[in-house]
Amino acid sequence: MNRAELIDKYRNKAVNIGVILVFLIVAGNIHKGSLARIESLKAKISEEGKKSGELLKINQLEGRIMGYKKLLAKKEASLVMGNISDIAKSMGVEVLSVKPLRKELPGADYTKDVFDVSVNAPSYDALARFISGVESSSNVYTIDNIGISPQPGPDEKGLTANLKISSVSATN
């Protein structure tokens, strides 16, 4: 066979091989581009997953803040005085007086209402139960100051206590 016959015989095969090689190169480039886009999408998915996790944490914190706001809801002074009197009665302590003193604004997020409370207690144990009852109440009360003295008079038994009790409430 001479050259001309060989060229004619394999010409279609060479063209077909050339076309196949061109298509393989183009397909390889398209595949590389697709892989890059897939990696980019995976990175975005990971980033969005992190954002979603942070948003979930923020949502949980908002729920906890709302719970605290409900716990620290604003209470009328008469309600606070009634609650303190009820706690005293249940602990066997006599309330002599409850006076609202002032409102303090130590922070922008809460208000502290201070009450001057005088009580008679038959014993230190009864007074301790009263203090414990006030501070463990479902309402938020704190005892800021306490002064204890024996009741005056020879026939009197027990103690007189003057307390500064604060009620804390959220302002927002």
DSSP code string of 93-104 = -EEEEEEEEEEE
The pTM assigned to this predicted structure is: 0.59
**pLDDT mean over 116-121:** 91
pLDDT of 118 reads 92
Residue 171 is predicted with a pLDDT of 72
Predicted confidence (pLDDT) at residue 106 exceeds the cutoff of 70? no
CA dist 87 and 79 (Å) reads 12
Highest-confidence segment of 37-46, 71-80, 107-116, 153-162 = 37-46
Average pLDDT of span 81-103: 87
Residues with Cβ within 8 Å of 136's Cβ and at least 6 positions away in sequence, in order, are: none
